Amino acid sequence: MISLMLVDFSRSFLFALATLLPILNPPAAAPIYLTLTHGASHDARARLARKVSVNIVIMLSIALIAGNMVLIFFGISLPVIRVGGGLLVVATAWQLVHASDPDTRHAQDMAGTYSYENVRSKAFYPLTFPMIAGPGSLSAAITVGATVQDDTTLRSIVKLAGSLGGLTVAGIAVYFVLRFATEVIGRLGPNGTAVLMRLSAFLLLCLGVQIVWDGVHDLIMSLAREIQHS
């Protein structure tokens, strides 16, 4: 019995981690994180990275545990979530694409005054949602939550614990990448950092368009099936 529970825990842990971490993709979010916190001090960015990681774990845990029930209660489908969330991603990316390039001296001048309190309002939107934990991550968390259901309550609890453990590890990975983003990306220099940030913003824009298209495609296919069966 114990060995079976260990297997259930391990499978759920690895499934959640392998499903969520690639979608969260913290390395791709690091340049955009630096852009949105431009001018903040090193300590403020470190605290904000911790706050964003906690937000991600909490939000995706709620989606994992109660996502399906919430969608059913409000009558919202996953394709609609993808369309709405994708539009938010597009809006955020569009602002980043047209943002002015970071100026190193200006950032150093502001570092003492642009504290954690100034950037804390960005901790959830847009840093947590939709930049890192967007509609794709929510959909994945809801999918993971659907796999924890089992015939026995005990096995369901074990699978849920494993899934939450995998989600927590993914959140820790996000924290460390954002926490040390300045040290890693800072080696590129001002010009290299500007190019990388602009490229990342463009990729985020493409990702948002892809998410919207996936949602629209699912809605069109659903409508076509309804017409076919009517």
Taking 80 as the threshold, does the pLDDT of residue 68 lie above it?
no
139-172 residue pLDDT tens? 888 878 877 877 788 888 999 999 999 999 999 9
75: left (phi over 0), alpha (psi -120 to 50) or beta: left
Find where tokens 């489908």 sit: 77
76-133 residue pLDDT tens? 877 887 787 778 768 767 877 776 654 444 444 434 445 667 677 778 888 888 888 8
Question: Mean pLDDT for the chain?
Answer: 81
- What pLDDT sits at residue 18? 86
The domain limits of the chain are: 2-229
What count of Cα atoms within 13 Å lies in the side-chain half-sphere of residue 177? 20
177-194 residue pLDDT tens? 999 988 877 676 667 766
For 71-75, 124-128, 201-205, which range has the lowest pLDDT when averaged over its residues?
201-205
CA 86-28-210 angle, 5° bins: 25
Question: Is 36 in contact with 107 (CB distance < 8 Å)?
Answer: no
Give the tokens for residue 34. 């630096």
Distances (CA, A) of 45 to 91, 119, 124, 153: 23, 8, 14, 42
| Global pTM value | 0.73
- Under DSSP, the state recorded for 152 is S
